[in-house]
Each structure stands twice: as structure tokens, then as C-alpha cells.
Amino acid sequence: MTNPPYIRPIPASWWLRQGRYVRYMIREATCLFIGLHALVLLVGVYRLSQGRDAFDAFLAALWSPAGQVMGAVIVLMAVVHSVTWFNLTPKAMPLWIGDRKVPGWIIVGGHYGGWIVVSAVVLFLAGGLS
Amino acid sequence: MARSNKPIVWGLFAAGGTVTAFFVPALMVVLGLAVPFGLLSPNDLSFDRVYGIVAHPLGRLILFGFITVSLWHAAHRTRTTVHDLGISNDGITMFICYGVAGLGTVLAAVFLLLL
């Protein structure tokens, strides 16, 4: 007969004990805002499918004071996500050229460079009319 | 050998993490903040222009993929974080997280097809 495995009880607040645990939790919590951003897009597409008035009402809500606060929080957490994600890339996908390991800072720097280019292109294309 | 959904979900999580890391900050600035802050004109986000971009077959396909990987990234990370918080009913957590992501994926497909 075997006993069920012992699970050491851990208080739900364990991550508040140290700064790096808190930073870990903030990093993990960014996903809620990535999800929220997906929801905004989903609603936007739905409103777009309903026609001009519905889409304009969607934008008006997004640009209202409350909408701007939500947008700013999403952008802030999305930036935290980008930074933490890119900083982990050398660990997540170490790169070898021949038998030499590519230094981490080159992989991270490459991602930051790509991020800047992508952001600039998105902003440039969005402003195509102005 | 038991089949596992792990490689598929983890693949969507990783793809979503990477794609969103590159695109979400700029995209959300454009959509939510650029016009109120005067960086872009409202004409840049007019119905006609946005519809023209999104309703193009390529626009629909790209947006569907983008929404899908964003949702699955969020769902998978939420699931593991709920576990980290000491809530160990993974079956229910998984059902809710992946259920919401699955529903969102279907809705994205429907909305984009009806556009």
C-alpha cells in the first residue's frame, strides 16, 4: 500500500517574499494583457463586420478616457512582455555556429533590433495617410 | 504511447509569445493611443481604410493567426501561473483557459469570414 504523495503546503502569497519572485509574477501576468489585447482585436473585428457606425462607436470607446487608460496599461504590460521574452531568447533557443556558441547578447540584441524595425514599420504604415 | 497535447499548446504559446512581443506594443499604440495623442489622424483609422486592410484575404488570414496565437499564449501562461499560485486543480484550469482560447479562435474565424 502506498500513501498519496506528500504535497508541501505553499501559501498563495509565496511570490511576494522576494523581489525576483515578484518580477517573475509580473512577467507571467503580462499574458493577461496579451489576452486582453486579443479580446480588443476580436471585438474590433466584430464591430467592423457590423458596419461603419458600429466601428466608429468601437473606436470612440477605445479613445475615451477609460479606453485610453486600458490602452496605456496594455501597452505597458506588452512592453514588459517583449523585454522579458527577448531577454530569455538565448536560454530558450541557444544558437550554435559550427561548434561555437553565439553569445547571448547578440541573440538578445538581434531581437531588440527586429522589434525596433517592426514597431517603426507598423507606425509608418499606420500613418500612411497623414 | 500516450498522446499529449503539450507540444501543440506549447508551440502555440511560444509562437504567440514571439509574435506578440514584436507586434503588440506598436499595434496597441496605433489602435488605442496614437489618435487621442495626436500622433495619427482619425482618417488613418477610418472605417474604409481599416476595412480595406482587414477584409483583404491576406489581412483576414494574418489577423486570424495573430489573434489565435495571442489567445493561446495567454491561455497557456495563465494555466501555468494558476498552478504557480498553488491552485492545483489543473483539469478545471486547463478546461477554462483552453476553452476560452478555443472559443475565441472560433469566434475570430467566424467574424473574419463574415466580414
DSSP string of A56-92, one letter each residue: HHHHHHHTSHHHHHHHHHHHHHHHHHHHHHHHTHHHH
Model-level ipTM above the cut of 0.95: no
At A94, the pLDDT band (50, 70, 90 cuts) reads confident
Judged by CB atoms within 8 Å, which residues 41-100 of B form the interface with A? 41-45, 47, 49-51, 54-55, 63, 66-67, 70-71, 73-75, 77-78, 80-81, 84-88
- Which pLDDT score is estimated for B50? 97
Phi, psi of A97 (to 5 degrees): -115, 110
Helices and strands in chain B: count of H runs, count of E runs = 4, 0
What is the structure's pLDDT at B66? 98
Rounded mean pLDDT, B30-38: 96
Q: How far apart are CA B3 and CA B7, in angstroms?
A: 10
Please give the CATH number for the structural domain made up of B6-114: 1.20.1300.10
